[in-house]
């Protein structure tokens, strides 16, 4: 494998794209504060005529994600729109309208059910489907805490909808578990899981459609660039969808103090999905 280029600036690639799909957590913020260089890079791309969609595995609908970004301090001038795993999940959830639904996740994720006929409220013993948006307390819990619950669900072959395929994210320098980790644990037991977000195609189809609507005409895939910090989500998803990607280093896949070139060699040496460039940080 030839060495993947290490970029200090995204600017040289800006002229090769009309539309960016930018990951949020780990690229635009760390869960606590925004990355100023990322916000500035997005604003610069938009000033020269580019369109930016924040494409996220957040289990919340886009309106709720926007409010969360406001609270963290990510300026709305950095993006044109948002496509979330929560948006895509809602159609999967609505198919279970009228059935007892177990929600696995914190109360802050309840907007994913807003205005749906399908509503949560079932317990483990009577659920027809489980909708996992995360851990009940991701500051303290791990997937091991859910072993008994998952075993009970599997004993009745209850299907699961995973509204956030991420397994871990970095929050203020700490790695925390996400819904994807619960879903993977359930699959390991033989459980049936449906996924909505990255790296799966539905979220990319929706993002490409919204990008075309925003620009007023369809956008060719060779004019789309995905920017993210997740090897198995952002980079793999972009490759599967047939678009280019740039990998941004974060604590999710890059070790503390590890050289980005060394990290790229380790992460992508035998991977079928490779970015066209890697960066220590997302900057213009």
How do residues 85-116 score in pLDDT, each as one tens digit?
A: 999 999 899 999 999 999 999 999 999 999 99
Domains detected in the chain: 6-86+199-279 (3.40.50.1000), 87-195 (3.40.50.1000)
**What are the structure tokens assigned to 27, written together?**
């690229």
- Rounded-to-integer distance, Cα 199 and Cα 38, Å: 22
pLDDT at 273: 86
pLDDT at 1: 52
pLDDT at 12: 96
Residues of the chain with pLDDT under 50: none
For 209, other C-beta atoms within 10 Å of its C-beta total: 13
**What are the structure tokens assigned to 88, written together?**
């895509």
Backbone φ and ψ for 227, nearest 5 degrees, come out as -130, 120
- Name the H helices within 201-250: 201-215, 236-241
Among residues 170, 196, 166, 180, which one has the least CA distance to residue 84? 196
pLDDT at 99: 96
Among residues 98, 150, 136, which one has the least CA distance to residue 120? 98
- Rounded-to-integer distance, Cα 115 and Cα 94, Å: 10
Among residues 24, 104, 22, which one has the least CA distance to residue 58? 24
Q: Which residues lie below 8 Å from residue 161, measured CB to CB, with a gap of 6+?
A: 89, 92, 93, 129, 130, 131, 132, 193, 194, 196
Its pTM stands at 0.85
């Amino acid at each position: 494998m030839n060495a993947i280029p290490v970029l200090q600036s995204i600017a040289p690639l800006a002229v090769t794209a009309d539309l960016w799909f930018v990951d949020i957590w780990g690229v635009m913020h760390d869960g606590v504060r925004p990355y100023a260089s990322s916000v500035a890079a997005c604003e610069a791309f938009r000033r020269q005529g580019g369109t930016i969609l924040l494409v996220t595995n957040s289990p919340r609908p886009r309106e709720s994600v926007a409010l969360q970004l406001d609270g963290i301090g990510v300026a709305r001038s950095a993006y044109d729109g948002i496509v979330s795993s929560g948006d895509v999940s809602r159609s999967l959830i609505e198919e279970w309208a009228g059935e007892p639904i177990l929600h696995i996740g914190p109360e802050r994720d309840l907007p994913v059910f807003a205005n749906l006929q399908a509503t949560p409220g079932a317990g483990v013993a009577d659920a027809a489907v489980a909708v996992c948006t995360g851990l009940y307390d991701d500051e303290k819990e791990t997937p091991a805490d859910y072993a008994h619950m998952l075993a009970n669900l599997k004993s009745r072959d209850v299907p699961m909808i995973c509204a956030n395929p991420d397994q871990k994210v970095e929050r203020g320098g700490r790695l925390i578990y996400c819904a994807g980790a619960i879903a993977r644990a359930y699959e390991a037991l033989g459980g049936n899981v449906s996924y909505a977000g990255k790296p799966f195609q539905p979220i990319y189809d929706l993002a490409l459609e919204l990008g075309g609507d925003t620009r007023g005409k369809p956008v060719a895939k060779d004019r789309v660039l995905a920017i993210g910090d997740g090897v198995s989500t952002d980079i793999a998803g972009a490759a599967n969808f047939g678009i280019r990607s740039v990998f941004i280093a974060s604590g999710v896949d890059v070790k503390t103090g590890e050289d980005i070139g060394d990290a790229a060699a380790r992460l992508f040496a035998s991977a079928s999905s490779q970015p066209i460039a890697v960066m220590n940080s997302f900057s213009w």
